[in-house]
């Protein structure tokens, strides 16, 4: 069964450092997303990406964040200068069509710990 793959599963980084979280969405999907879940809190939308550009982003997704689809298979989330409050589980998701028309498939997540 096709699945969304995320690497690494756990990343520890020093405050102020840049991190790149990687995702391989399902191959025929067109919409890509990043969500995050701070420990014990709800899952929050960060950004959606379609046709090689950001289609929507949340207030959380400020200038420190960027996304990229550098080739035909990877989808990355970069945090330029990490803060302690960026510590969370980051989930990548993909879907064939928009959320309201089709199922979104989530990866297993990358646990980011900023120290």
Contacts with another protein by CB under 8 A lie at: 4, 31, 33, 35, 41-45, 48, 55-56, 58, 91, 93, 98-101, 103-109
Backbone angles phi, psi at 33, to 5 degrees: -140, 155
> What CA–CA distance (Å, rounded) separates 64 from 8?
20
Pairing of strands 75-79, 65-68: antiparallel
Least separation in angstroms between CB 17 and another protein: 25
Q: Which is nearer to another protein, 33 or 75 (CB)?
A: 33
Q: What is the largest CA-CA distance in the chain?
A: 40
Least separation in angstroms between CB 16 and another protein: 28
Q: Which is nearer to another protein, 15 or 106 (CB)?
A: 106
Q: Which is nearer to another protein, 56 or 68 (CB)?
A: 56
Helices (H), the chain: none
């Amino acid at each position: 069964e096709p699945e969304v793959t995320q690497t690494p599963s756990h990343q520890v980084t020093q405050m102020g450092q840049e991190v790149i979280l990687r995702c391989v969405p399902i191959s025929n999907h067109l919409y890509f997303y990043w969500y995050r879940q701070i420990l014990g809190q709800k899952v929050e939308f960060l950004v959606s990406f379609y046709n090689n550009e950001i289609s929507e982003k949340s207030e959380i997704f400020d200038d420190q964040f960027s996304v990229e689809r550098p080739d035909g298979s990877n989808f990355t989330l970069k945090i330029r200068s990490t803060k302690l409050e960026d510590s969370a589980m980051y989930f990548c998701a993909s879907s064939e069509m928009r959320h309201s028309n089709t199922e979104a498939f989530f990866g297993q997540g990358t646990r980011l710990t900023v120290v």
